[in-house]
Amino acid sequence: MGRLKEFDEDKAIDGAVDCFWARGYEATSVRDLAEHMGIGGASLYNAYGGKRALFVTVLERYANRSSRERIARLEATGRPRQAIEAFLAEIIDRSLKDRARKGCLLVNSALDVAPHDAEIGKVVAGYLEEIRSFFQRCIEAGRDAGQIPRNIDAVGVSAHLLGVLLGVRVLARTRPDRALLESVVRPALDLLNRPAMPGTRRKIATD
Amino acid sequence: MGRLKEFDEDKAIDGAVDCFWARGYEATSVRDLAEHMGIGGASLYNAYGGKRALFVTVLERYANRSSRERIARLEATGRPRQAIEAFLAEIIDRSLKDRARKGCLLVNSALDVAPHDAEIGKVVAGYLEEIRSFFQRCIEAGRDAGQIPRNIDAVGVSAHLLGVLLGVRVLARTRPDRALLESVVRPALDLLNRPAMPGTRRKIATD
DNA sequence: ACATTTTTAGAGCAATCGATACAAAATACC
DNA sequence: GGTATTTTGTATCGATTGCTCTAAAAATGT
């Protein structure tokens, strides 16, 4: 029943992602959105409800296409420790290739809109938690595979890795320098290669 | 000479800090600013030039009152490793007490306005570099004092600490949970308490 | 007292904001 | 073909944006 949609919904949402990603939520106008989505303002409100509702849709599209895709792809390799390393390496590469300085839409949203909008805040927190639990699964699998020391705390270190990841994405916005970003990450990766016994005096093997 | 200013310049700038801090650059209107500064719109433009120029002034005030104050205070204690620990602990405490979820103005600006404004980007990058170099000085001083293992790379680990710090501030915006934030920080602090390279003969610090 | 300089309040500028009203156009079902 | 339903383009709503203009008010210098 009714007239058919004339625009490509996938391309429209991708256009909306580009808009919000490049300019941020507040700075993006409905007219900007409509233009980059290839539709009129009326169609935008008819199909997506409005700016805020569209933003939630955009967040999910972004999460599916970036972090969830990466998690699924790396986890499927069956090499847990290398998956963590590759995840962080890809983020650094993405940040350095990002000439427009758009950063990560989830991180941008976590600071820009999440604190002022409880619902969006929960959505963003959920996506970040997915990344942390990916790290946790990798650590646990790596322990079982003998790749990662048994005595490291999977929950705690996964939070550490998430924090380091977020730090990289923030720092890259003002200082996209490979040496700097790799320095941020390196100690976290070293942690996975050698035992950590905080507060315990331990002997070091001599060579 | 002409007519004297009738408003308190310090209170006015503090009001502007509160505005930009709570709402972000774009979402803060000149009328909001003027109201919270206790002045009229004309006085704002007369005294500070406009919204953007005022924001640069606000950034400097914020940096002086928060990170620079903290760096000076902790560095003056003469206990480098504890200074690093206290810095991160204070950030966690601040993040948890921050009911309004304002976060850190410098971090917010690094994502919100810095990528779209080269001058402000350099200003923000400079303030972040001040924090990193504080960490570096602490590490070097701690090494000399025997508090911190000699074989850790002061420049690299200072970047790691800055990254962890930024990660904490981002994560706290959507998930202000003490256990989570302390997990982010803990491995970085452990790094300062024990050797980083397996197979290297060295002493364990026991302070 | 007078001229000069600066600050102040208030009105108002063009532009843009998110959102909506309305009717023409396009489809499906009968 | 007729009717119902949805999408579309256009025009526009009131509100708000950053900013400026004007003129009165308040200070100093002579």
The Cβ of residue B88 has, within 10 Å, a number of other Cβ atoms equal to 21
Whole-number pLDDT of residue B74: 98
Summarize the confidence of residues B152-162 as an average pLDDT. 98
The Cβ of residue B199 has, within 10 Å, a number of other Cβ atoms equal to 10
Q: Is-contact A91 A156, C-beta < 8 A?
A: no
Whole-number pLDDT of residue B201: 39
Written as six digits, the tokens of B128 are 């972040």
Q: Is-contact A128 A106, C-beta < 8 A?
A: yes
Q: Does A186 touch chain B (CB under 8 A)?
A: yes
Helix (H) or strand (E) holding B166: helix B154-174
Q: Is the pLDDT of residue B114 over 70?
A: yes
Confidence of residue B1 (pLDDT cuts 50, 70, 90): confident
Core vs surface per residue A148-181: b (16+ CB within 10 A) or e:
bbeebbbbbbbbbbbbbbbbbbbbbbbbbeeebb
Q: Is-contact B102 B176, C-beta < 8 A?
A: no
Q: Is A3 helix (H, G, I), strand (E, B) or coil?
A: coil
Which of B101, B108, B160 is opposite residue A186, by nearest beta carbon? B160
CA-CA distance, A7 to A19, in Å (whole number)?
17
Whole-number pLDDT of residue B2: 85
Q: Which chain C positions come under 7 Å from a protein C-beta?
A: 4-12, 16-23, 25-29
> Per-residue pLDDT tens for B54-110?
999 999 999 999 999 999 999 999 999 999 999 999 999 999 999 999 999 999 999
Q: Which residue has the higher pLDDT, B200 or A91?
A: A91
Place of tokens 């803060």: B28
Among B75, B69, B64, smallest CA distance to B135 is for B75
Nucleic strand D contact set for B 142-201 (CB, < 7 Å): none
Question: From the CA of B2, how many Å to the nearest CA of chain A?
Answer: 40
Whole-number pLDDT of residue A88: 98
> Per-residue pLDDT tens for A148-203?
999 999 999 999 999 999 999 999 999 999 999 999 999 999 999 976 455 443 44
Written as six digits, the tokens of A8 are 């490509």
Whole-number pLDDT of residue B195: 61
Place of tokens 């959505």: A123
Q: Is the pLDDT of residue B164 over 60?
A: yes
Residues 143-162 of A with CB under 8 A from B: 153, 155-157, 159-160, 162
CB–CB contact B112 A110 (8 Å): no
Percent with pLDDT over 70 in chain B: 94
Summarize the confidence of residues A71-99 as an average pLDDT. 98
Whole-number pLDDT of residue A202: 40
DSSP string, B173-207: HH---HHHHHHHHHHHHHHHHS-SSTT---PPP--
Whole-number pLDDT of residue A205: 43
Average pLDDT taken over every residue of chain B: 94
Q: Is A26 helix (H, G, I), strand (E, B) or coil?
A: coil
Angle between helices A80-97 and A118-144 in degrees, nearest 10: 140
Summarize the confidence of residues A23-40 as an average pLDDT. 97
Q: Is the pLDDT of residue A85 over 70?
A: yes
Residues in chain B, overall count:
207
Whole-number pLDDT of residue B199: 43
Kindly identify which residue of chain A lies nearest to residue B20, measuring between CA atoms. A112
Residues 70-89 of A with CB under 8 A from B: none
For chain A, the structural domain boundaries read 63-191
Written as six digits, the tokens of B59 are 């950034």
A63-191 belongs to CATH 1.20.1250.20: no
Supply the Cα-derived Rg of chain A in whole angstroms: 20
Contacts of A152 (CB under 8 A, 6+ apart): A139, A143, A191, A192, A195, A196
Is the minimum distance from the CB of A30 to strand C below 7 Å? Answer: yes
Place of tokens 């959507």: B174
Confidence of residue B116 (pLDDT cuts 50, 70, 90): very high
Percent with pLDDT over 90 in chain A: 91
CA-CA distance, B116 to B130, in Å (whole number)?
22
CA-CA distance, A34 to A21, in Å (whole number)?
15
Contacts of A200 (CB under 8 A, 6+ apart): none
Percent with pLDDT over 70 in chain A: 94
Helix (H) or strand (E) holding A127: helix A118-144
Summarize the confidence of residues A67-96 as an average pLDDT. 98
**CATH: 1.10.357.10, 3.40.1280.10, 3.40.50.720, 1.20.58.710. Which one for B59-193?**
1.10.357.10
